[in-house]
């Protein structure tokens, strides 16, 4: 098996539209939550979200091109463009054979849900005559962002979109890792994007009783592990990682952020939207990732938990973690307390957090924790309040999705 490293990062997020801005705000515990501006939420039980701010699609697309894409594709292109630039790669100078070894594995849980809503709304507001945009279908389908990235850079390697709800982009990272180490590509642009702060999406999550209703204090609403948490805060954005075969990266003198060493996937096999009470999915996914990496649980220094701030989900994930790690005191935090829950893009953005934690030896804190839920085992080391300066040789990223999907990736400090 070939070794796989991270050579470029990019993000569009509720707490920053560049990697530097994003990481600075994560380390300093800044919340990205605020009132919803993307639609009239005045009649909704939840009237806030973690929106992307100051995003300008004209930076990435000419005006005539913008109508072809949904917002989730805008975010995909923006994040991947930054990651490519950060990596130092120049696809324009590559031969066809070289570009055939560059893949794009890009996820979304909802795809162009905003486009879907707009087109259906316009249809039913009319006289029944079918007047749909010729771009309706390509704007909407979840795989299109992967295709657009490949077209933009003329990349002919493996190209697809794994979908596993909110585990989607962590699944993409694991798939990219497998693709490269098995010799099916030399480079993969991996990640995910989501733009699901829409009337129907927010209404659906609200009906499922999953969203926080802390309308008076939106910046304090996402509070994983806190005894008074009442639901997650929906977010949007995208995250991109340039994943590259080690020798290929070394040959071109690339900077290396970290190494990818393990990936594990499993299923709760329990409920449409709920988490198994014993945390079996988390337990099995983590064990699979550790086995894949060839390390013991004691090697992990930091866990970026999926922990969305729902009353049930957080404790059940920690039950699975406790089964694997016992009293090891591994540091655990949830950066969703700042970004909100980016749904299908969450796994990629949180993979970036893990990579930067390994690179800089900083463990981000969980913000908004006033008192730890009494159901959480006291042996678990929940990091809250302020970020920690601490050695991080291995970081583990958990992601879970409706349907019981689980995905766990492991990142290691790079050494020769």
Query: pLDDT category, 275, cuts 50, 70, 90?
Result: confident
pTM of the full structure? 0.97
Judged against a pLDDT cut of 90, whether residue 206 lies above it is answered with: yes
pLDDT mean across residues, the chain: 97
Residue 17 lies in a domain: yes
pLDDT of residue 10: 98
263: tokens are 């990936």
Residues 6+ apart with CB under 8 A from 251: none
Instruction: Identify whether the C-beta of residue 123 lies closer than 8 Å to the C-beta of residue 111.
Output: no
State the Cα torsion 387-264-106-31 to the nearest 10°.
-20
pLDDT of residue 251: 98
pLDDT of residue 416: 86
- 62 and 145 share one domain: yes
Active site residue 153: no
297: tokens are 């649980």
- 237 and 298 share one domain: no
pLDDT digits (tens, 9 = 90+) for 375-414: 999 999 999 999 999 999 999 999 999 999 999 999 999 9
* Active-site entry in 306, 322, 354, 405: 306
- 77 and 35 share one domain: yes
Three-state SS at 384: strand
CATH number of the domain enclosing 312? 3.40.47.10
**Average pLDDT score over residue span 42-54:** 98
**What is the domain extent for residue 269?**
263-412
* Active-site entry in 248, 322, 341, 405: 341
- 239 and 131 share one domain: yes
211: tokens are 């969203």
Residues 6+ apart with CB under 8 A from 120: none
Residue 257 lies in a domain: no
Phi (first) and psi of residue 248, to 5 degrees? -65, -45
Active site residue 341: yes
Active site residue 248: no
pLDDT digits (tens, 9 = 90+) for 66-100: 999 999 999 999 999 999 999 999 999 999 999 99
**Beta-strand (E) ranges in 284-350?**
302-304, 331-333
Q: Over pLDDT 90: what percentage of the chain?
A: 96
Please tell me the distance from the alpha carbon of residue 169 to that of residue 293, in angstroms, as a whole number.
Answer: 19
Instruction: Identify whether the C-beta of residue 240 lies closer than 8 Å to the C-beta of residue 72.
Output: no
Handedness of CA 22, 25, 26, 31 (dihedral sign): negative
* Active-site entry in 161, 166, 248, 405: 166
């Amino acid at each position: 098996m070939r070794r796989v490293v991270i050579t470029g990062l990019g993000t569009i997020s509720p707490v920053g539209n560049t990697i530097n801005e994003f990481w600075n705000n994560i380390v300093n515990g800044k919340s990205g939550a605020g009132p919803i501006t993307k639609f009239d939420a005045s009649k909704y039980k939840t009237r806030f979200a973690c929106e992307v701010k100051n995003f300008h699609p004209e930076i990435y697309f000419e005006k005539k091109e913008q109508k072809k894409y949904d917002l989730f594709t805008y975010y995909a292109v923006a994040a991947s463009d930054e990651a490519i630039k950060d990596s130092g790669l120049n696809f324009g100078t590559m031969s066809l054979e070289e570009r055939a070894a560059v893949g794009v594995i890009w996820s979304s849980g909802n795809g162009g849900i905003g486009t879907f809503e707009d087109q259906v709304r316009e249809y039913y507001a009319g006289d029944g005559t079918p007047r749909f945009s010729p771009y309706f279908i390509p704007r909407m389908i979840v795989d299109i962002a992967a295709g657009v990235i490949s077209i933009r850079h003329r990349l002919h390697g493996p190209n697809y979109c794994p979908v596993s709800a909110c585990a989607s982009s962590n699944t993409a990272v694991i798939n990219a890792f497998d693709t490269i180490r098995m010799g099916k590509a030399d480079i993969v642009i991996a990640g995910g994007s989501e733009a699901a702060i829409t009337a129907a999406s927010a209404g659906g999550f609200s009906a499922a009783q999953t969203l926080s209703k802390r309308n008076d204090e939106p910046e304090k609403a996402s509070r994983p592990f806190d005894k008074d948490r009442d639901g997650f805060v929906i977010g949007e954005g995208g995250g991109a990682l340039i994943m590259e075969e080690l020798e290929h990266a070394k040959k071109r003198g690339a900077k290396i952020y970290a190494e990818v060493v393990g990936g594990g996937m499993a299923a709760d096999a329990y409920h449409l939207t709920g988490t198994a009470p014993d945390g079996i999915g988390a337990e099995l996914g983590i064990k699979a990732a550790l086995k894949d990496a060839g390390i013991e649980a004691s090697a992990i220094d930091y866990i970026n938990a999926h922990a969305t701030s729902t009353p049930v989900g957080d404790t059940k994930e920690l039950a699975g973690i406790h089964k694997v790690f016992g009293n090891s005191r591994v540091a655990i935090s949830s950066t969703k307390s700042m970004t909100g829950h980016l749904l299908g893009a969450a796994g990629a953005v949180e993979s970036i957090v893990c990579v930067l934690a390994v690179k800089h030896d900083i463990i981000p804190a969980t913000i908004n924790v006033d008192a730890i839920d009494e159901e959480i085992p006291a042996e678990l080391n929940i990091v809250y309040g302020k970020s920690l300066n601490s050695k991080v040789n291995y970081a583990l990223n958990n992601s879970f999705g409706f349907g019981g999907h689980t995905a766990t990736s492991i990142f290691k400090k790079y050494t020769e």
